[in-house]
Structure 1
Amino acid sequence: MTALSSTLTWAQLRDLECAELESAADGWGKASNRADAGRDRIEKQLLVGLRESQRGAAAEAAVGRLRRMSRNLQYVYTECGLIRTALNSLAHEMRVQQGVLRRALEEAESLKFTVHADGSVSYPPGPGGLFDGDPLPGGTARASGVPGLLPSSGLVAPHTHAAAARDISDRVTGAVRAAARIDWRFTRILRRLRAEEGLKVPDRAWTDAAGDAAAVREAARGYLESRIPRGGSPAAVREWWAHLTDEQREEYLAVYPDRIGNLDGIPSLIRDTANRDNLQLLIGKLEGRDDEVSRVRLAGLREIGRQLEAGGQPPMYLLGIGDEGNGRAIVSYGNPDTARNVAAYVPGLNTSLDEDFARGDLKRARDTAIGAKEMDPDASVASIVWLGYDAPQTSMDDPLGVTGQSDAKAGAAAYNQFMAGISATNQHADPHVTAIGHSYGSLTVGLAAQEKAGIPGADDVVLVGSPGTGARFADELGVGRGHVFVGAAENDPVTKLPNDREASGLGAGIVGGASAGFSLGLSGGPVGAAVGGVAGGVAGGAMGFAAQDAQSEESDVWFGTDPAHRDFGATRFAVSEGPRPLEWGHSPGEAHSNYFDPAKDQVSADNIARIVAGKSDEIERERPR
């Protein structure tokens, strides 16, 4: 065995034509682009035309076949794009090692050294010895660590030729060994990139594609990923994307749809394209997993995919998708880059990427888009639902987690980054932007509005079903109190949550009263003790609450001042009272969930739509509390 790899020599590395690898990559790129163009034509022309002009069983069958063809082309686009980037990454890494080798060979030539096929380097006699002045003999050096090479005893002058030859041999051998490892790594990656046989792409193919994409992403770190902006402003991201070549954009979309699709500052059409591809990869990644979280997440992803495939008006744009935390999904009805009126709604407690979110929260954004368009038919609208943070989840493991602000603070920073991206890509000089928060999402929006520069681009803030924003007054939300609007149903218990002092008094009173009542009731036996405990708990809780309430401002709620109270200073708009919490035939918290639904609360939905459309002067007002 020589010092070099038995399957690759330095001469082969030197003569490797990386341009041929790049030419092959271009060929796969063209195949990927053709598949993408075919898919685009099916989605934007054939299916649209068929839905508009044809009805009946034959039309439904044709739609089904076209969707299958589109899905197949999407798979071809993904796999061919991965092959292109794998080949380009291989060429990039091989060029690096060719550079190391070339510099070593050039140095050997300048010193009149000879580099042999096995990587050893012969050198001529050197300068005289330390004591006798006789020239040191020439010889052959091999890479460090090869048996037979011993360090100098220190009793003779350093042989500069020998040291230089050994260094050159080290670099030649190192370059070839690194190239051999690169070659083997990419060989394994490329062998995995094989298509399924037949005319239908099964679900398991997308599972394989997700693994393929992960492998190519890992391999392309130095070639592509390192160039993606990290921590830059959305405006800087927009400029980075604008200055890429078409070929570079195609590679990023093929290999990093997750990064590009969720990068604020990338145009919405591009984000939508990337996220539709990433949606399929995420579905493939979760396919076959049998844990509850994966099943719930998969149901949500599939429902979003179903709605995207169904099309309809207003058109959907998938601006973000991911499986980190409780899941991420950002969906817009209307293009936020071209819309004159843009709204971004933040959901609250217990929201996660599941089927309920995909049906309920997406519908809220769609209803708002339709309503705003009705209020101003001449203005374009984009209504967004933004699940870009981990909303708190009620849990027995952490029952008090919903009472803190940590999730909202993290969400506020992410929301402002997203809104800065909307401002960076919107084509209007001064679009009308509305930030909407519901339930705990109103705290997230409120904290975002209180950050140093406020919510980027926001003209109006809408808070519905709010337990507070962390602010004492509407003026703290950065848009002026005249542009803060609040909807609070009379029977929505979330808008009347006690403040932390009242809650503390209530809890302490219940515990103390129940203990005292239990002790006093013991004389009446077990029944007396139980009755005494319950009665004492009720009485103690009421007294504890009343004691703390007397020391609190009337307008205090859990997260600051009640936004619907006159002390806060916002404009309260009319909503329906909603069903009482225990009213027969209704869910306990239904009044908390109706604000966006024109079928259940037309007044509220219309008022929100008027604000989004820039017609807040036309809302129906309600007296503050």
Structure 2
Amino acid sequence: MTSSLTWRQLRDLKLDELKDAADGWGAVSRHADAAEERVNGDMNGALSKTQESESADAAVKRLERLSRNFDYIRTECGLLRTAVSGLAAELASPQRRVREALADAAAHAYTVHEDGSIGYPAAGPNELTGRQIAGGRAPGRSGLIGPGAGVHGPGGGAGLLDPAAGYRGPGLISTNPHHGKAQDIADRIARALRDARETDGRYQGVFAKLRAAPGLTVDAGTWADAAADMAAVRKAAGGRIEREIPLDKSPADRKKWWDALTDAQREEYLASYPDVIGNLDGIPALVRDEANRENLQLLIAKLTAEEGEVARARLGGLREIQHQMELNAAVRLSDPREPPMYLLGIADEGTGRAIVAYGNPDTSRNVSAYVPGLGTALDGDFARNDLKRAHDTAVLARKHDPSSTSIVWLGYDPPQLGEVDAETLLSNTEVMSAERAERGAPAYNSFMSGLGAANEHGDPHLTAIGHSYGSRLVGAATQEGGGIPGADDIILLGSPGVGVDRAEDLGVGKEHVFVGAAENDPVSRLPSKKEAVAGAAFMGGGPLLSYLAADVADQGDDDIWFGKDPASEAFGAHRFAVADGPRPFIDGQGPTPAHSNYFNPGKDRESAVNIAAIVSGRSHLVTTEKYR
């Protein structure tokens, strides 16, 4: 938008009032946040817990609508605060420059005209003619060429910047000794005004968007508008905020950066870049959770407007995560022992990203981070099943030590099975390649480093857990420079191999590597590449038949697909006791039923209890079984 700001208006602008207005919008945003928490907790939770009737159900729905309204108010007011604050910050330099130029004009008794030109007085006689040198008027040059080059020219200063720093335009240079100084002052005013107008016009468009109609219903469409508002605020800021985010720094350095910010600066980042702050390793868990809960709404709005099977699957996963968080809040009202949920990461890139913690990883002495494997994506199955695994681990671990947190980390793109079944598993190059594990390992290590950086205990007990293909990622992470940051123990579940042949190569000492491998889990018994060929040839069938023909195809070297079998004596880890699990096909539950039971206390209690003992720092309580 075009700005008509004058030098007088710029000079007289009270930036402190703009800053106060920004603080006011920030206060409204904080009040809305507090009101939302009160509605969800003290009001809605208590009502749901104590009342059962149609009128109570209706009241709950009205409170849920009120909660959504407060959430939207918090977001929009936060954006307004950022926009007003940004406007004030960007106008400060042009205002200072124009005031300095005006002060110089006054010191020389020059006249400042309405258009910003500078009038200067006559001088003494010309040495050549003897005549008095006339006074004059120096028009300001904004540094623009083409249409709108003048301060008040057509287009409001929409011309191009002159690449020639010494550009002076047409005409002769005056011999009046005042001319040079007057011209300098006029140019400074023009350029300060040019910058101020550009800023003013840029933010005018933002403020025009940040309006809501009375009686607005907050739904997916409303959140889509909020996403557009956020994009407009970011564009108006022109990178002023974003470039300060330490994306290329270590998690420890990011923690220091965040700690050094003022409350106002933190609010600005949370309002404008929740998707970045929420996924930034090293930032405190409470902050990431707040940012990601807002970003969750924005992602739901985005995917609601998209078509296709992938978008529907992602949307189902996001909505289920939202549902799980609402259930968690409700359960905690009646049972404070229930571990609270924290959304530590959420995004729709790749196969989807989601990091969910049960317990606060910043305040817990014991923290585990579980990496899921084959076929995992951000969908309804993940939000129900993988979140439950982390939840069950946290609940059982807290029986040993209440200061325990369990996390599910979907921060990479696991191989997708698609239409592949167990018979063609080994022919799927994505599933049977280590490429995705190796690509995801640096992100996992960054996350683990962030857990240590943000934890108030300084050196928490950290456990890395890999299930299925996720164990291959954990193995790859151990081979990165320095290994997995802060890891004290490693748990491998249903592993097809981890890329190394000995537990001691995982960097935590073989006595701190634990393996759960069900006898009837075919993924943990995948043949080596050599065995797969031999078995398939002998049986005349697919890879699953080569697994079933293990006695015939076994080369006797304890190798499976990604290296040495972690459950073998040759590997050297602790093999803890787990149930054998249902047999593939024979027990009527499909090809890999035992592969999914390790965390489930209802289906494999011994395994779940052993996992909890390890992550709570009580590995001496683990029950063991013989090596394969």
TM, length-normalised to structure 2 = 0.84
User: 1:298 deviation in Å?
Assistant: 1.2
Cα distance change, pair 110–599 in 1 and its aligned pair in 2 (3 A) = same
Identify the residue that residue 265 of structure 1 maps to in structure 2. 282
Identify the residue that residue 364 of structure 2 maps to in structure 1. 339
**Aligned partner of residue 209 in structure 1, secondary structure:** helix
Name the aligned partner's letter for residue 469 of structure 1. V
Question: Distance in 2 between the 1:485 and 1:346 partners?
Answer: 15
Name the aligned partner's letter for residue 93 of structure 1. E
User: 1:279 deviation in Å?
Assistant: 1.0
1:194-243 deviations in Å (ceiling 9; x for gaps): 22432742331111111112211332355533332232232332233233
**Aligned partner of residue 580 in structure 2, secondary structure:** coil
Name the aligned partner's letter for residue 576 of structure 2. F
Question: Distance in 2 between the 1:161 and 1:470 partners?
Answer: 79
Cα distance change, pair 70–306 in 1 and its aligned pair in 2 (3 A) = same
2:521 is aligned, of 484, 489, 492, to: 492
Question: Distance in 1 between the 2:16 and 2:503 partners?
Answer: 62
1:258-309 deviations in Å (ceiling 9; x for gaps): 2222222222222222211111121122222223322221111111111111
Question: Distance in 1 between the 2:260 and 2:530 partners?
Answer: 55
Q: Alignment identity in percent?
A: 54
Cα distance change, pair 562–112 in 1 and its aligned pair in 2 (3 A) = farther
1:110-259 to 2 correspondences below 5 Å:
114-123=111-120, 139-142=136-139, 143=141, 145=145, 150=169, 165-198=182-215, 200-259=217-276
Cα distance change, pair 80–596 in 1 and its aligned pair in 2 (3 A) = same
1:322 has 2:322 as partner: no
Kept in 1: contact 2:134–2:176 (CA 8 A): no
Identify the residue that residue 382 of structure 1 maps to in structure 2. 405
1:432 has 2:461 as partner: yes
Identify the residue that residue 457 of structure 1 maps to in structure 2. 486
Kept in 2: contact 1:207–1:287 (CA 8 A): no
Question: Distance in 1 between the 2:625 and 2:128 partners?
Answer: 104
User: 1:392 deviation in Å?
Assistant: 2.6
1:89 has 2:72 as partner: no
User: 1:76 deviation in Å?
Assistant: 0.9
Kept in 1: contact 2:375–2:418 (CA 8 A): no
**Aligned partner of residue 431 in structure 2, secondary structure:** helix
Kept in 1: contact 2:133–2:175 (CA 8 A): no
Q: Give the stretch that moved more between structures: 465-474 or 130-139.
A: 130-139
TM, length-normalised to structure 1 = 0.84
User: 1:441 deviation in Å?
Assistant: 0.9
Q: Give the stretch that moved more between structures: 75-84 or 444-453.
A: 444-453
User: 1:500 deviation in Å?
Assistant: 4.4
1:474 is aligned, of 489, 503, 506, to: 503
Unaligned runs of 5+ in 2: 151-166, 332-337, 421-426
Name the aligned partner's letter for residue 42 of structure 2. Q
**Aligned partner of residue 75 in structure 2, secondary structure:** helix
User: 1:460 deviation in Å?
Assistant: 0.8
Identify the residue that residue 444 of structure 2 maps to in structure 1. 415
Identify the residue that residue 32 of structure 1 maps to in structure 2. 29
User: 1:74 deviation in Å?
Assistant: 0.7
1:502-581 to 2 correspondences below 5 Å:
554-581=557-584
2:388 is aligned, of 363, 373, 388, to: 363
Question: Distance in 1 between the 2:207 and 2:488 partners?
Answer: 51
Cα distance change, pair 233–590 in 1 and its aligned pair in 2 (3 A) = same
Question: Distance in 1 between the 2:178 and 2:505 partners?
Answer: 74
Identify the residue that residue 161 of structure 2 maps to in structure 1. none
**Aligned partner of residue 313 in structure 2, secondary structure:** helix
Kept in 2: contact 1:130–1:157 (CA 8 A): no
Cα distance change, pair 557–131 in 1 and its aligned pair in 2 (3 A) = farther
Aligned-pair Cα RMSD in Å: 3.6
User: 1:595 deviation in Å?
Assistant: 1.4
User: Across the two proteins, how many residue pairs are aligned to each other?
Assistant: 587
**Aligned partner of residue 275 in structure 1, secondary structure:** helix
**Aligned partner of residue 273 in structure 1, secondary structure:** helix
Identify the residue that residue 296 of structure 1 maps to in structure 2. 313
User: 1:61 deviation in Å?
Assistant: 3.6
Kept in 2: contact 1:196–1:205 (CA 8 A): no
Question: Distance in 2 between the 1:413 and 1:127 partners?
Answer: 75
Identify the residue that residue 74 of structure 1 maps to in structure 2. 71
Kept in 2: contact 1:340–1:379 (CA 8 A): no
Question: Distance in 1 between the 2:350 and 2:34 partners?
Answer: 34
Question: Distance in 1 between the 2:416 and 2:299 partners?
Answer: 23
Q: Give the stretch that moved more between structures: 611-620 or 238-247.
A: 238-247
User: 1:499 deviation in Å?
Assistant: 3.5
Question: Distance in 1 between the 2:49 and 2:313 partners?
Answer: 34
**Aligned partner of residue 574 in structure 1, secondary structure:** coil
Q: Give the stretch that moved more between structures: 578-587 or 27-36.
A: 578-587
User: 1:383 deviation in Å?
Assistant: 0.8
**Aligned partner of residue 85 in structure 1, secondary structure:** helix
